[in-house]
Amino acid sequence: MRAKLVKALIKKEFLDVLRDKKAVAMMILVPLILYPLIFFGTMAVMTAIQSGMEQNEYHIVVEHIEGVEGYDEIIAAVDEHNNPKQSEDQKEPEAVMDKLKVVRTGETWNYEKACEALQKEEIDAYVRITSTDIDGRTEYQIVYVSSITNSSYAADILQSIIKKMNRAESERIINDMGLRAEVVLNPIVIDNMDIASKEQTTGNLLGMVLPMILIISLLMGTMYPAIDTTAGEKERGTLETLLTLPVTNREIIFSKFVTVAAIGIFSALLNLVSMGLIGYYMVKLIGGMGVSTDSINLGSFIPAIVVTILAVLVFSLFISAITMCITAFAKSYKEANNYITPLTLVVMLTGYIAFIPNIDLDRNMALVPVANICLLIKNILSFKYDIGIIAIVLISNVIYAALAILFLSKIYDSEGVLFDEGRSGIQLFEKRSNMKKGGVPTTGDAWFIICVVLIAVLYFGSLLQLKFGLGGVLGTQLMILMIPLAVVLYTKRSLRKTYKLRKTSIVNFIAGVVLIFGALLLGVLLTMLTSKLFPGDASSAGGGVDMLLEGHGFPFVLTVVALAPAICEELLFRGFIMSAFKSRYKTVATIILVSVVFGVYHLSIVRFFTTAFLGAMLAITAHYSKSIFPGMLMHFLNNAISVFQMFFPDTFNKAFPILSDETPGIMEICIMFFVGVMLISVGITILVIKNKEIKGNGIKKEQN
C-alpha cells in the first residue's frame, strides 16, 4: 500500500465522520455530559427517596379479642419500634425510617372488613392474634396485599418486630430455666475473616462493572463512524467517485478501518475518563465514612491497566471490523441502524457475563468473542494473571479482526453488494401484489429465515422434545421444513429453482455416496480432536440423545433421526438458504456461509466443526450436481450409520472396526485420514467431470 495515498484517504475519512455533528455528539458529549447527569440525577432521586422514606408512616390494625393474650405486647413492641430507646453511648436518638401507626377506632374490626380496607388501601396491614390449641403459644397472623408496595413494606416491618418479640420471649424462658440464653440460642459462633486486600476488593468491583462499560462504549464509538464510512457513503453517492480514483480496494478498506478503530478507541478512553472522574468523586464524597484513596495502592493496578489498554485496542480492531462488515450491506443510514441492532443486543447480553460469578476464563472461553475480553478484564482487575490465557484472548481477537477485514475486502470486490441490485432486501415484508413470480429468495429473506427458524428450534422445538420426546424431534424437523416453504409460497418464488428439485444422473448419486464415506472418516477425526479441546461439551453431548431414543424401535428412530433431517434440513440449508446466497455471493463464500450456519444450528461446540465440514461436502455436491437429491441421500446415509451403530453395536463393530475404536492408534488415524481424503477427492472429481459433461452437452445443443 502507498503510504501517502493511505494517509490522504484516512484524512478524508476523518473529515467525513467529523462533519456529522450527531457522530461527534455521541463520541464526546455523551460520555462527558450524559454520564455525570445520570450519576447526579440518580443521587438526587435517591436523596429524595430517602428523605421521603424517613417520613413514611404505615397504618396497621391489630385485632383485639377479649381473653386472647398478645395485644398489649405487640402494641408495646410497635411503640418501641417507633421510639427506640437511646443507649448510653448514643449522643442522639436513633432515626426511624419507617413508622407504624396503629389505627384505633370505636368500631370493631374483623377479617372481612380488614381485607376490604386493605384492597382499598385504607390500611396497610392487619394483625390477627390467636392461640394455638396444642401448646398455647401466641400466633400473630399478618394479613397484607403483596401487590401494593406500602402494604408489603408494612408486613415486612411487622414481621421483623414480631421476630424481635419472639427472640426476647425465648431469652426470658431460657433465663428462667437457669440457662444462658445466648449459648442455648447460638451454640455455634460464626466469625468471618476477609483477608482480601482493599485493592482486591476494589478490583473485583471494577471487574464486574468496567468490562460492560468498555465494550458498550467501544461499540457505540465505532457504530456511527462505521455506518458513515460504509452506508453513509453509499447514501451520499460518493462511493462511486472514490472507487474511480487510482487507489486499490485494500487501501480504501484499510483507511476506513483505521478511522473507525481510532474513533472507537478515542470514544472508549473518553468514557473511561468520565467514569473515572465520577468514581473519584464518589470516593471523596464518602471519605467521611472511613473510605480513603490513600488506603489503596494504585500502583498495584498498573499491570492491569496495561493489559486493559491492550484489550481495548484489540477489541476495537475486532468490533470495528465486524460493524463495518454488517453496515457495508446497507444502502442507507437508516437501514444500517436496523442491521446493527442485533449486534448491539448480542454484545450487550454477552457483556453481562462479567456479572456471573461462576464463569471462569479458561482456554475454551478465551476463544469466544466479546466474552473473552470481558472475562480477561475482570480477571486482571482481580489480580489473576495467566500469560497463556491473556495471549490467547489478544491473539484470537486480532485473528477475528483480520478475518472480518478479509471478508470486508470481498464485499468491496462485489459490485452486487456495494451497489445493491435488489437481491438483498426482505421481500416477505413487501406487498404480495408487487411480487413477481419465479426466481429464488433474496439474501435478506434467507437471513430472516435463519433467525426465525433458529428461534423456533430453540424455543418451540425444545418444548416439543420435552413433551413428546422423539416425536417432538419429528415436529421440530417439520418446522424446519414448513417455515421456509411458507415464505417461498407467499413470495411466489420458484419451488424448483429454490429447492433444486431437478433430476440428476446416477453418477452424481454414486459420487455423493463416495464423498460422504470419506467425509465420515474425516468427521470422526474432527470429533475426536474437538472432544479433546472441549471435554465438558463432549461429555454432555450424547446424554440427551440417549434419553430421547429410549423405548423406540429401529424403524421409527431411523425415520426421525435419518430420513426426516435428510429431507427437511437439506431443503432448508442446501435448498432455500444456498439458492438465496448463491444469487448474490460467489460460490466459495456461499458454501462457507451455508456450512457455518448448518454447524451453528446444531448448537454444540464439539459438534460444530464436524457438522460444518459435513455441511460443506453436502453443499459442494448440491453445487455440482445442480440437484438436492444426492445431498439427501448423503445426509440419510450419514445419520443412518449412527442409528445402526446405536441399535446394532456388535454388528457395526465387526463391519467397521476402525470406526468403533474410541482410542485409535497413530496407524489407524493415518489410515482414516488418507482414506478419507482419497474418497473425498474421488467424489469431488466425479462431480466436477460430470458437471463439465452436462455443460458441454448444453453448449452443443445450443450450437445445433
Q: What is the pLDDT of residues 257-276, one digit of tens each?
A: 888 888 878 877 777 777 76
- At 630-642, the pLDDT tens digits run 999 999 999 999 8
pLDDT above 70 for 491? yes
Largest CA distance in the chain: 118
HSE, side-chain direction, 13 A CA sphere, residue 629:
12
Quick: pLDDT tens for 398-426: 898 888 888 777 766 665 555 555 455 66
Distances (CA, A) of 249 to 200, 256, 262: 48, 11, 20
Contact 128, 63 (CB under 8 A): yes
- Which candidate, 340, 331, 339, places its Cα nearest to that of 235? 331
Pairing of strands 125-131, 138-143: antiparallel
The candidate with the shortest Cα–Cα distance to 99, out of 126, 114, 78, 115, is: 78
pLDDT above 90: percentage of residues in the chain? 21
The pLDDT tens digits for 591-632 are 998 998 998 888 777 788 899 999 999 999 999 999 999 999
Strands across the sheet containing 125-131: 98-102, 56-62, 125-131, 138-143
Name the percent of the chain lying above pLDDT 70. Answer: 80
| Residue of 246, 250, 248, 247 whose CA lies nearest to 258 | 250
| Residue 172, CA distances (Å) to 79, 162, 176, 177 in order | 20, 15, 6, 9
From 282, 387, 297, 296, select the one nearest 35 (Cα to Cα). Answer: 282
Between 232-246, 415-429, 648-662, the lowest mean confidence (pLDDT) is in: 415-429
pLDDT confidence of residue 289:
47
- At residue 638, the pLDDT reads 92
Q: How far apart are CA 680 and CA 521, in angstroms?
A: 10
In angstroms, the CA 178 to CA 581 distance is: 86
Res 509 pLDDT > 60: yes
pLDDT tens per residue across span 163-180: 999 999 898 889 888 888
pLDDT beyond 90 at 571: yes
pLDDT score of 543 more than 50? no
Positive or negative torsion for Cα 552, 555, 561, 567? negative
Most confident among 10-19, 617-626, 650-659 (mean pLDDT): 617-626
- Average pLDDT over the chain, rounded to an integer: 80
Instruction: Look at residue 656 and give its three-state secondary structure.
Output: coil
Residue 569 vs residue 244, higher pLDDT: 569
Residue 476 vs residue 51, higher pLDDT: 476
Tell me 34's DSSP state.
Answer: I
10 Å CB burial of residue 222 (0-12, 13-18, 19+) is buried
Helix 629-647 × helix 605-625 angle, to 10°: 140
Cell, residue 555: 424403524
Q: How far apart are CA 333 and CA 340, in angstroms?
A: 11
pLDDT confidence bin for 219, thresholds 50/70/90: confident
Identify which of 164, 170, 176, 171 has the alpha carbon closest to the alpha carbon of residue 76: 164
- Name the band, by pLDDT with cuts 50, 70 and 90, for residue 88: low
d(CA 228, CA 18): 10
pLDDT at 515: 94
Cell numbers placing 144: 397484607
pLDDT tens digit sequence for 546-559: 555 666 788 898 99
- What's the whole-number mean pLDDT along residues 500-528? 91
Q: What is the mean pLDDT of residues 647-652?
A: 84
Question: For residue 1, what pLDDT band results from cuts at 50, 70 and 90?
Answer: low
By residue count, the chain amounts to 704
How far apart (Å, rounded) are the C-alpha atoms in residues 408 and 329? 10
Minimum mean pLDDT among 349-353, 399-403, 469-473, 611-615: which range? 349-353
Mean pLDDT over 226-252 rounds to 76
Q: Best-predicted range by mean pLDDT among 7-16, 80-89, 503-512?
A: 503-512
pLDDT above 90 (res 303): no
CA distance 201 to 210: 14
Q: Tell me: pLDDT of 572 over 70.
A: yes
pLDDT higher than threshold 90 for residue 341: no
Q: Which residues contact 702 (CB under 8 A, 6 or more apart)?
A: none
Collect all residues with Cβ–Cβ distance below 8 Å to 369 and sequence separation of at least 6.
318, 396, 397, 400
Q: What does the pLDDT read at residue 342?
A: 76
263's CB contacts (< 8 A; 6+ apart) are: 17, 27, 221, 222, 225
Measured CA distances, 318 to 28, 313, 369, 373 (Å): 22, 9, 9, 11
